[in-house]
Amino acid sequence: MPSTLIEVRRTYTAEEQVQLMNAVHDALVAAFKIPVEDRFIRLAEFAPHAMVNGLHDGVSDTYVRVTIDCFSGRSIAAKRELYREIVDRLGEHGVPREHVSILLREGPPENGGAGGVAASDYDLGFEINV
């Protein structure tokens, strides 16, 4: 049950927003083997002056930051696949791979929950050790 935030430096149409969110979600499904219906994803738009990336001069309005909070357990191979899948899929929507930053934040299942129950106490419906 990853929780995903996509931050962008420009305004996209509703259709474009959905395409970007689908691209990142599809990457998670492919790399982390989560069920297609396991989806929690948000997209936040910022004016260029309100989202600064000091690592690169002249950062384009196509810069995208993807932050994924998820449970620990994925292998480095699965993480590498996720990073490749995200940049490849966003690239299909005009985002150059060098304009994509990805932050993966992991925590144990007991650090999340639903319905007042810790995730460590119920069946997630998928394997996190991939």
Structural domains present in the chain: 3-121 (3.30.429.10)
Identify the band that residue 86 occupies on the pLDDT scale cut at 50, 70 and 90: very high
Sign, CA dihedral 15-59-88-36, equals negative
Q: How many angstroms separate the CA atoms of 18 and 31, rounded?
A: 20
Is pLDDT of 80 > 80?
yes
Q: Between these two residues, 11 and 51, which has the higher pLDDT value?
A: 11
pTM: 0.92
